[in-house]
Structure 1
Amino acid sequence: MPTLAWVRKHIGLGGVHSSGTSQAEFTLPAVLLGLLIGCLLCFTNLYFGLQTGWISMMSLQSALIGFLISRLLPKPMTPQENIVLQTTAVATGTMPLAAGFVGILPALGLLDEERDGVPPLHLSWVAAVGWSCAVAFFGVFLSPPIRKQVIIEEQLPFPSGTATAQLISVLHQLPPPDTTIRRRHPGYRALTVDVADDAHFPDTPTTADVVEAAEPPAAGHVEQKESWMALFWSFVASGAMTLLAYFFPIVFSIPLFGNYLAKEWLWSFTPSLSYVGQGIIMGFPTTLSMNLGMLVGWGVLSPLSKYSGWAPGPVGDMSTGARGWILWVSLAIMCVDSAVSLIPVIAEFVMKEVRKRQGKHEHASDHLKDDNEVETEDRLVPDNWVLWGLGTSVVLGIFLVWFVFGDEGIKPWATAVGFVMGGLLSILGVRALGETDLNPVSGLGKISQLLFAVIQPGNIVANIIAGGVAEAGAQQAGDLMQDLKTGHLIHASPRAQFYGQLIGSALSIVVTATAYNLYSRAYVIPGPSFPAPTAYVWLSLARLLRDGKLPAETGVFMLVFALVFGAIAGVKAHAVRRQLSYAKWIPSGVAFAIGFLNTPSFSLARLVGGITEYVYHKRVIKDGHDIRLIIIASGFVLGEGVISIVSLVLRTFGIEAATCWACGHGLCSGCPAS
């Protein structure tokens, strides 16, 4: 393990801080910095979510950037304050997914009165704030009781949260956190983390090699000044390229294989540094799965459906074209992958409960709730806060959903059922996340859609909203549980993190609703610039559950791919739970399905990042790992996300592209021909 002297010499980023129960953790600088970083992440996640459906919780990056900024303050930030900072940032930055701004709200805007019986629903700013308030706090109040079970009692690994704790311990020159997992059944050993941050579509894990080095590396360390420069120049490079692409759209729509394939089959390349950065954060195995899906979906199934007459419309048309046709195969893969990943979680939970009941008289003391709790009562969230918070958030949520959508949208009793489903599914999602670093929120939302197809048949609006309520609870509780795992390993106050979660979620309601309102005024959503692919997933399943009709021949392909990826998901789940070395190379069904949903341009750019990450850690930094590449990737992602705000302002004031030269293929965002 790296020694403290080695860390001082080579990392050069922080001082040693002691922690104690009396130490102030919930401080104004930590919260303000967390809100600032979270707002940037919120705009970034909304931007990328509407483009590709991909959202990252960016917990590790938030901790890193917050730490670097805090070095400019008169008093350096403690590790516990850093955890409050990154918890607040994550709660603020992930609202675009939690409140459905990248999927559910665009799906409601796609409704067709002739086909669906209701006109498109476009929420005003006030209505969007009301909807966000309805779902913003339910998952936060679910977190404390779930924490006691999955982190304290069962000690689930939560790899992304553990990786963030590893990084914070290095930054602040602390001894490495104890990541030994004491399990209730054999087959587990001490955890070695290789997952850096959790990024979602909405439930796909990301991978980056942030591990404890066995020996201090001879090279590759990052000095404080060097890390600042890496972050600054990567941010500037990505931002400059984004601004250049705004005025010269061809920069992000290169017809890599010629204009014919770009125009007719949507094969182009977007050399966006932000997507390269996302690929670095996601890691090579995930980007490889995504590009395998891209090759199968866009290289095989798309032309097959077109030439066979099953999808006779233009390839990019979501109703009659190949893009809409392969969407159904993607949906089958995502559903079966999520379902299979939940089976071992449910099975273990049932077996555990059976064993507990059989031995409850002999071993009752082993199951006392707080036996393993390491925090004092003054640092925990009181149970009465949780009960009052859950009750208030549910009652307020039911009223607000009724206020926004009315009785024609969804009945109040049905919304209440949606919250109950959300609570139950959140437990499953959190357990799956803790075991595998995979939060299957899209699959959980679709389970809720299946239920509401029975209890409110024929009501597409109710079906989508109910799925959104369930997804919001599961996604938010899962993301916050990763943060609580980080806090547990670094001995941060759960109550201080809880405060940060509440404040971050509250501010993000206004920020996300405002950002979405600005984007919807400046752009058509879904449209060429922001296709919002997950919106079609939500709407397509709702229509299928109502009508029972599938496009021509999709049923056969859905069944075949579901069977194949059901088997693959089972093998992968077994390998992950046994921590087998080859587990990460087994294709991820959700990542594979994303390759179907997004056009090749996005997947190819992420593959560049994935390959960069792999080569860097295998060839450049052979004897250890540093954080330079993470810093650069973070700058890439944030650069385009922040400059997208500038692009939004330019579009709002009517400032268009300088030239549409070479945009003859019609794929250039911002050009009239697109």
Structure 2
Amino acid sequence: MRDHDVRNTDGSRRLRRQARHSADKLDGGQQEFTLRVALSGLLIGCLLCFTNLYFGLQTGWISMMSLQSALIGFLLSKFFPTPISPQENVVLQTIAVATGTMPLAAGFVGILPALGLLDEERDGTAPLQLSWWGAIGWSCAVAFFGVFLSPPIRKQVIIEEQLAFPSGTATAQLISVLHQIPPPDTAIRQRHGYHELGTDEVEDIPAPESAAEHVGLADVREPEVATQESWGALIWSFAVSGAMTLAAYFFPVIFSIPLFGNYLASDWLWTFTPSLSYIGQGIIMGFPTTLSMNLGMLVGWAILSPLAKHSGWAPGPVGDMTTGSRGWILWISLAIMCADSLVSLVPVVAEVFYAKVWRRAVSLRDGDPSETRLEIEDKEVETPDRLVPMRWVGWGLAASVIGGTLLVWLVFGDEGIKPWATLIGFLMGGLLSILGVRALGETDLNPVSGLGKISQLFFAWIQPGNIVANIIAGGVAEAGAQQAGDLMQDLKTGHLIHASPRAQFFGQLIGSLLSILVTTTAYTLYNRAYQIPGPSFPAPTAYVWLGLARLLRDGELPLKSGEFMIAFAILFAVVAACKAYVQRRGGRYAKWIPSGVAFAIGFLNTPSFSLARLIGGIIEHLYYTRVGRERGGIRLIIVASGFVLGEGVVSVISLVLRTWGIGAASCWGCGHGMCGGCPA
């Protein structure tokens, strides 16, 4: 047995050396974390940060934009004296994603607006509006925990379990096309690393059925022509979207068109926002997701909202989040999200128990587990100098937890949350991150909304009656799960393209660090120029956080909402179970089973936010149905990216104009009172 182990060890080392040699040949031995890559990634990440903050405050929905980061980074590299390698592109998009997703990870689209909604008479504490320095302290407290969690989780879910991570896999496929290298090996390797180096058992992963699947193998026979066309498509789509956004600032009715007359627009909030960015988001999200969102919009706003209003269950104005039907259907949305997220986690938890507890117990009972440990070790193909040392992880986790606990205490004080409660929040964040990352790796959906609610439920038990502590602790736990999930997609891309995990780790750190400054400054400016939540930035997820915290404290629901919550929770628990079953059976039609989270988002946002995304989803479906994914390639994704980035970047100009006191040029057509830029 010992000789057999020695031979296995020698063989695994030889295979790792061969794999590393293959990777060196692939990237030409270039350094991966370079100054040009860092600066390019930070620049792209800042654009994504403004875009995600802008749309996150509007809809509660943000995007990793990893595909777009890799694409724009490749196009930008054409101005460099020498082209970047595929591995440099991986690091570049890792930096961009770490920078661009901070608005959600640090709670700027949910947690902080929720604290600003507190009512002293009802909640026992005045609204909390953090200063710039306070927001910096809060961001620093939660910005790095998920980064230091990433290396050990990578070892588990990418190297050992080899989960699919569809978006990360699709990004790797895109990078291989752009750089004209062999497509990445996306097979599950049962033993000894890569199958081309001599594995025996190989099982293909089903093609990803997510927004990432839109990336086909583009025609790269003439890369210079393709690059010029890509630049042209990105520039014109960016310019058109930006121009339309600026026009809508001076003439607000452009983005607030009454669908069925002024009465339904003003009293029932039925307007249409023909935003090219929303259409671009719909293209990126894909037709199945946008269809689920609009089904939710129809059920919530065309059926339940009138029912609640006319039955006297929500007697206030429809748009009122306290007494109106918008606040009433919010509770049904919350029930759907929690049911969908929790049911989606059941097979993940069951699999973890079976693989990590039951099978280990059987192996310990039946024989020596040393071979199992050796098999796990054999799957790592990176050399130690390219991995993140575990001592860095240990010191980093300790520093982020202790430092984060102290920072939260300094920002919010004892009246906000006790240090011991924050510490428990970090520990819960670590546990929930593992569940969230596993769900993301298998389904391409990180159920952070449900995970945050689990944390809120727990803290309602250990620190009852404190709404501020409930929201903050939930935000701490959600931040770790959100960040670890996003970064794991990047590490999957790096694993497939043979990029250095250590270089990606450095990129995640500097991206998170810069994003603290960018996100905090942008949010502070938005908060000064606009009412948040308000007509222009309703921040719907803020009401979800505050509503659940109040429910857990008071136990009071709006009239008759409890019955509907139970009914819809049961319905979507069944739907989520069916979807999970079909996905695990490899069913190609799983994507057409409604997504509970997307369905609930249709409840949270007014119809104007969902309809334009449906147009984008229909365009995506018709385009790829007509020309095929292979021929369609990435052209439509480029145009969609330009639409999204155009509005997100030009919104900064609108923010500056608003700060300088320059308002709308004309309020013509805004008689329905739904135009964000006009006084109503």
Q: Please, what TM-score do these two structures have when normalized by structure 1?
A: 0.93
Say yes or no: does 1:104 pair with 2:118. no
One-letter identity of the residue aligned with 2:290: T
1:443 matched to 2:450: yes
- 1:339-418 matches, cutoff 5 A: 339-353=342-356, 354-360=358-364, 361-368=367-374, 369-418=376-425
Task: Name the structure 1 match of 2:205.
Answer: 191
Query: What pairs with 1:214-613 in structure 2 (closer than 5 Å)?
Result: 223-353=226-356, 354-360=358-364, 361-368=367-374, 369-613=376-620
- Answer whether contact 1:194 1:211 (CA < 8 A) is retained: no
- Cα deviation, 1:362-413, whole Å, max 9, x if unaligned, reads 3432234422101000000000000000000000000000000000000000
Give the AA of the match of 2:106: A
Give deviations 1:552-588, integer Å, cap 9, x for gaps.
0000000000000000000101112222110000000
Q: 2:214 aligns with which of 185, 189, 209?
A: 209
Residue type matched to 2:336 in 1? I
CA distance in 2, matches of 1:603, 1:335: 21
The 1:579–1:463 alpha-carbon spacing in structure 2 relative to 1, beyond 3 Å, is same
Amino acid at match of 1:244: A
Deviations 1:614-645 (A, max 9, x none): 00000134764311000000000000000000
Segment of structure 1 superposing worse, 221-230 or 609-618: 221-230
Letter in 2 for 1:319: T
User: Structure 1 residues 192, 478: CA separation in 2 closer, same or farther (over 3 Å shift)?
Assistant: same
Tell me: CA distance 1:510–1:439, structure 2 relative to 1, closer, same or farther (3 Å).
Answer: same
Residue 173 of structure 2 aligns to which amino acid in structure 1? Answer: Q
**Aligned equivalents of 1:366, 1:622: Cα separation in 2:** 41
Provide the secondary structure at the position in 2 that maps to 1:424.
helix
**How far, CA to CA, are the matches of 2:126 and 2:542 in structure 1?**
16
1:183 Cα offset (Å): 6.5
The answer (yes or no) to whether the contact 1:163–1:193 under 8 Å persists in 2 is no
Residue of structure 2 in register with 1:172 after alignment: 179
Q: Tell me what 2:196 maps to.
A: none
- Superimposed CA distance per residue, residues 585-625 of structure 1 (whole angstroms, 9 cap, x where no aligned partner): 00000000000000000100000000000000001347643
**Matching residue's letter, 2:118:** L
Q: How far is the alpha carbon of 1:194 from its aligned partner? A: 3.9
CA distance in 1, matches of 2:215, 2:230: 16
Q: Quick one: which amino acid aligns to residue 301 of structure 1?
A: L
Q: Deviations over 1:182-224 (max 9, x none)?
A: 469xx9941243456xxxxxxxxx45422458xx799999711
SS at structure 2 position matched to 1:181: strand
Residue deviations 1:330-375 (CA, integer Å, cap 9, x gap) = 0000000000000000000001121022114434322344221010
CA distance in structure 2 between the aligned counterparts of 1:528 and 1:385, rounded to whole angstroms: 45
Contact 1:194 1:209 in 2 (8 A): no
Mapped partners of 1:401, 1:221: distance in 2: 51
In 1: Cα distance, 2:584 partner to 2:214 partner: 19
Counterpart of 2:231, as a letter, is W
**Structure 1 Cα separation of the partners of residues 470 and 601 of structure 2:** 23
Which structure has the highest helix share of the two? 2
Q: TM-score, with normalisation over the residues of structure 2?
A: 0.93
Q: Deviations over 1:243-274 (max 9, x none)?
A: 00000000000012111111110001000000
**What 5-or-longer segments of structure 2 have no aligned partner?**
1-22, 192-200
Looking at structure 2, the residues matched to 244 and 392 of structure 1 have their Cα atoms a distance apart, in angstroms, of 48
Amino acid paired to 1:247: F
AA aligned to 2:326 is: R
- Match of 2:15? none
- C-alpha distance in 2 between matches for 1:97 and 1:380: 28
Alignment of 1:76 with 2:83, yes or no, is yes
1:286: Cα distance to partner? 0.1
Q: Which residue of structure 1 aligns with residue 6 of structure 2?
A: none
Paired with 1:508 and 1:619, the residues of 2 have a C-alpha distance of 40
> What is the rounded CA distance, in whole Å, between the counterparts of 1:256 and 1:18 in structure 2?
58
Residues 30, 85 of structure 2: 8 Å contact kept: no
User: What corresponds to 1:34 in structure 2?
Assistant: 41
Aligned 8 A contact 1:222 1:628 in 2: no
1:652 equivalent in alignment to 2:659:
yes
Gaps of 5+ in 1: 1-15, 197-205
Q: Label 1:54 to 1:220 Cα distance change in 2 as closer, same or farther (>3 A).
A: farther
Contact 1:332 1:561 in 2 (8 A): yes
Change (3 A) 1:218 1:176: closer
Superposed CA deviations along residues 510-550 of structure 1, whole A, max 9, x for unmatched, are: 11000000000000000001000000000000000000000
Pick one of 617, 624, 630 that aligns with 1:617.
Answer: 624
The partner residue of 2:52 within 39, 45, 48 is 45
**Code of the aligned partner of 1:39:** C
Alpha-carbon distance in structure 2 between the residues aligned to 1:390 and 1:85? 24
Query: Alpha carbons of 1:468 and 1:536: their partners in 2 closer, same or farther (altered >3 Å)?
Result: same
The CA distance in 2 between the partners of 1:501 and 1:246, in whole Å, is 35
Identical aligned residues as a percent: 74
1:518–1:648 Cα contact (<8 Å) kept: yes
CA distance in 2 between counterparts of 1:220 and 1:323 reads: 51
The residue number in structure 1 matching 2:150 is 143
- RMSD between aligned residues: 1.9
Aligned equivalents of 1:300, 1:537: Cα separation in 2 = 21
Any idea what SS the aligned residue of 1:370 has? Answer: helix
Say if 2:149 and 2:393, in contact at 8 Å, map to a contact too.
Answer: yes
Partner of 1:200: none
Change (3 A) 1:612 1:218: farther
Tell me the number of residue pairs that the alignment of Structure 1 and Structure 2 aligns. Answer: 645
Matched, 1:181 2:181: no
Letter in 2 for 1:352: A
Give 1:71 shift.
Answer: 0.8
